[in-house]
Amino acid sequence: MNEPITVERLANNPYMIRYIDHPSQDLQLAAVRANGLLIQYLSEPDRDVQEAAVAQAPEAIRYIKNPPEALCRQAIAANWYNLSYIKQPSAALVRLALEQSPWAIRYAVRPGEELQLLAVQKNWEALQYIKEPTTQVQLAAIRQSPEALRYLDPAAPEAEDLAILTDARTLRFVHNLSAARILHFISLNILVCTVLKKEQYIPEKDILQLLQHIVAQEDVPEKYIRNFMNCRSLNQIYHWTPVDKLHLVYQYGSKRAKRIAVDERLRFKDTKEVI
């Protein structure tokens, strides 16, 4: 088999390169230009052959040992997933892949906070592929969705607080819940009471003491007071009537708390009459 004939045959059947011992550069180029993935059958292909293979099939980067940065960039620019074939990718390569897809963070090795943020800002669920995300990254993910707390173990206290404040139902993602921690979360969001299991109920004297402190604040959040007035779980757990709750606010609450509580109570009565 002479070389010109082999080159001609390779044009029609590039897989023949597998059966040629020590093929010349011309033969190698002919094969990879027809199918870049055939570079996997070549030992020590030179730079020209590598470039031709990646140009034809960007995923051919997976078969190139220690590919140069420029070649990696070419492969990733074509498809972010090609990052998965590169060992120890640089931050620049990871950033290039993240510009296409947040899932590329899965293939980054110890990514810095900048890259972590770039991923979760595109999609909070990318958090599941980040080991030891920084507090700022955790918060960025939770600002998009409090459900991001499911991927944090352990979570930063600030991340837990933001998730619970936003959606009390995320309490189910918090580990090692003590009575003190439950009280803390109730202080952030009264609706935590609606998701507690029976064995997690707080003694009435403790919840009363906490609420007395909260309603007394001059800057108590309006949402907290309105949710408190409407929280049926407090009625079920402690048998508090709406009048009991209004009395608590009037006895211990700030002017702001009283105004909001009365407004919510009147709004509720008006709505009920309309219904």
Interval 112-130: pLDDT, tens: 999 999 999 999 999 999 9
Spatial CA neighbour of 142 closest among 162, 157, 158, 113:
162
Q: How confident is the model at residue 4 (pLDDT cuts 50, 70, 90)?
A: low
CA 67-71-76 angle, 5° bins: 105
Burial class of 274 by CB neighbour count within 10 A (0 to 12, 13 to 18, 19+): exposed
Which of 12-21, 85-94, 145-154 bottoms out in mean pLDDT, i.e. has the lowest?
12-21
pLDDT band at 8 (very low <50, low <70, confident <90, very high): confident
Per-residue confidence band for 5, with pLDDT thresholds at 50, 70 and 90: low
Predicted confidence (pLDDT) at residue 268 exceeds the cutoff of 70: no
Boundaries of every domain in the chain: 197-275
pTM of the model: 0.87
d(CA 237, CA 201): 8
